[in-house]
């Protein structure tokens, strides 16, 4: 009897030991996996505006993901209008600097390097009214986009946006430019560690256009615009994309001759001697967007397609070519600013055309950033689109840019919203 009892005790001790050994092994494996996921793919980028290695972004300034690289599909998320909210103070500021992202930033948007004296405009973030909005997490974005392709399609604001996104991602991995067209307007970048590509497709009208203007936007002749023929610079690439952001708008305000069925049908800003009917830019924009939206609806693409509304400018006391300026240094409230009539017309056309087809395409989503950026007149280069414009003469008359956005700057927060939509499926109202 004693012998049987002793053997039972001995077996119990052995089983307890084995259980402890298995538990310890599992804990060790989990800890090792956590360490690898958190730190294994990160290496700080060290670049400057001239490409030299003299400025480093600390890993502590970046939010690093340590969990899955799959998009959750079965999590219930509270509804929230991400596009209605306000700008609040953000002591952390941007996750990259003007020096760390000189590799891709257009010189006209590198405001701090160009001598802009104030930096308060960098320390604000977008806060939706009904929910929290996480800061953009570049590592999580790249993990989600492994083996995928993006394109941001449109005009110079689209280029401004793609540069913002590249700057935010470059603190995890430096992108490699793998393509550019003859005029360096359309480009493509690759992130080798993630096999992820981002294309910026220059197509300011989204339809075929003959444009006659220099690099400063000065036209020598009216644009010849074919309203019913889409620009194949983007349509050829479209079927292969996993994600696309499509936008247009401001360019339709230019003087143009309109063609349909290969025949001139009217114009905008027609000279009196033209003998053509001035149909107005809204006619052209509505017709062109109708063809764009029909193409998207019929494409049967499996990718996620975003249509971004046009973004208002903040010129005061003039416009681009007649002395307009933007001197504000912090955000304004909705009560302090009103969208210009022309911007309202563009946005109305966009909303009508989007809503006409959205029920036919479950993967088409609206990015309505017009109101969000309307209250950020402080975020533009202003006179600092050129390098140190007042060094020789503090009273010099210089070209102001109150349309594009400083980098870093408010346009970076578009990426906060976009990542939240991708991860949690939140949209607008």
Residue recorded with tokens 């490409």: 51
Concerning whether 401 is annotated as a catalytic residue, the answer is yes
How far is Cα of residue 70 from the mean position of the Cα atoms in its chain? Answer: 21
Tell how strand 256-260 and strand 176-180 pair up: unpaired
CA gap 347, 152 in Å, rounded: 19
Q: Which of 137, 313, 401, 416 is catalytic?
A: 401
111 CB contacts (<8 Å, ≥6 apart)? 98, 381, 384, 406, 407, 409
Q: Which of 48, 100, 149, 156 is catalytic?
A: 156
Tell how strand 263-268 and strand 304-308 pair up: unpaired
Taking alpha carbons only, the member of 82, 161, 121 closest to residue 372 is 82
Asked if 121 and 329 count as a contact pair (C-beta separation under 8 A), the reply is yes
Residue recorded with tokens 């050994």: 21
Taking alpha carbons only, the member of 363, 350, 359, 355 closest to residue 421 is 363
378 CB contacts (<8 Å, ≥6 apart)? 120, 121, 326, 328, 329, 330, 331
Q: Which of 404, 412, 413, 416 is catalytic?
A: 404
CB contact burial 354-383 (16+ within 10 A = b; e otherwise): beebbeebeebbbbbbbbbbbbbbbbbbbb
Taking alpha carbons only, the member of 154, 151, 175 closest to residue 96 is 175
Q: State the DSSP code for 209.
A: E
Concerning whether 228 is annotated as a catalytic residue, the answer is no
CA gap 347, 296 in Å, rounded: 19
Concerning whether 404 is annotated as a catalytic residue, the answer is yes
105 CB contacts (<8 Å, ≥6 apart)? 49, 98, 163, 167, 407
CA gap 144, 70 in Å, rounded: 6
The residues assigned a catalytic role are 156, 401, 404
């Amino acid at each position: 009897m004693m012998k049987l009892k002793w053997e039972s005790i001995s077996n119990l001790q052995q089983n307890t030991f084995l259980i402890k050994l298995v538990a310890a092994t599992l804990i060790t494996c989990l800890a090792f996996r956590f360490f690898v996921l958190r730190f294994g793919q990160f290496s700080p980028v060290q670049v400057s505006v001239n490409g030299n290695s003299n400025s480093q972004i600390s890993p502590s300034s970046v939010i690093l993901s340590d969990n899955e690289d799959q998009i959750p599909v079965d999590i219930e998320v509270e509804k929230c209008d991400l596009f209605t909210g306000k700008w609040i103070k953000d002591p952390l500021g941007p996750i990259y600097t003007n020096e760390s992202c000189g590799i891709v930033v257009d010189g006209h948007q590198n405001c701090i390097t160009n001598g802009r004296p104030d930096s308060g405009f960098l320390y604000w973030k977008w806060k939706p009214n009904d929910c929290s909005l996480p800061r953009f997490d570049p590592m999580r974005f790249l993990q989600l986009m492994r083996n995928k392709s993006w394109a941001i399609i449109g005009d110079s604001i689209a280029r401004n946006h793609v540069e913002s996104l590249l700057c935010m991602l470059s603190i995890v991995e430096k992108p490699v430019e793998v393509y550019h067209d003859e005029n360096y307007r359309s480009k493509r970048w690759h992130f080798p560690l993630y096999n992820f590509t981002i294309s910026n497709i220059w197509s300011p009208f989204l339809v075929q256009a003959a444009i006659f203007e220099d690099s400063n936007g000065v036209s020598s002749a009216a644009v010849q615009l074919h309203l019913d023929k889409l620009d194949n610079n983007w349509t050829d690439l479209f079927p292969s994309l996993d994600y696309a952001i499509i936008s247009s708008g401001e360019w339709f305000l230019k003087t143009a001759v309109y063609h349909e069925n290969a025949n001139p049908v009217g114009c905008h800003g027609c000279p009196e001697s033209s003998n053509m009917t001035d149909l107005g830019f809204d006619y052209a924009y509505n017709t062109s967007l109708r063809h764009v939206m029909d193409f998207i609806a019929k494409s049967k693409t499996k990718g996620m397609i975003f249509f971004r509304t046009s973004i208002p400018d903040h010129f005061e006391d003039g416009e681009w070519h007649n002395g307009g300026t933007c001197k504000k240094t912090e955000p304004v409230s909705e009560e302090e600013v009103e969208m210009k009539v022309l911007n309202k017309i563009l946005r109305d056309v966009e909303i009508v055309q989007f809503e006409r087809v959205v029920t036919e395409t479950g993967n088409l989503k609206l990015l309505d950033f017009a109101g969000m950026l309307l209250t950020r007149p402080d975020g533009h280069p202003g006179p600092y689109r050129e390098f140190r414009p007042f060094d020789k003469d503090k009273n010099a008359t210089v070209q102001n840019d109150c349309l594009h956005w400083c980098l870093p700057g408010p346009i970076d927060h578009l990426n906060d919203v976009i990542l939240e939509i991708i991860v949690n499926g939140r949209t607008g109202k």
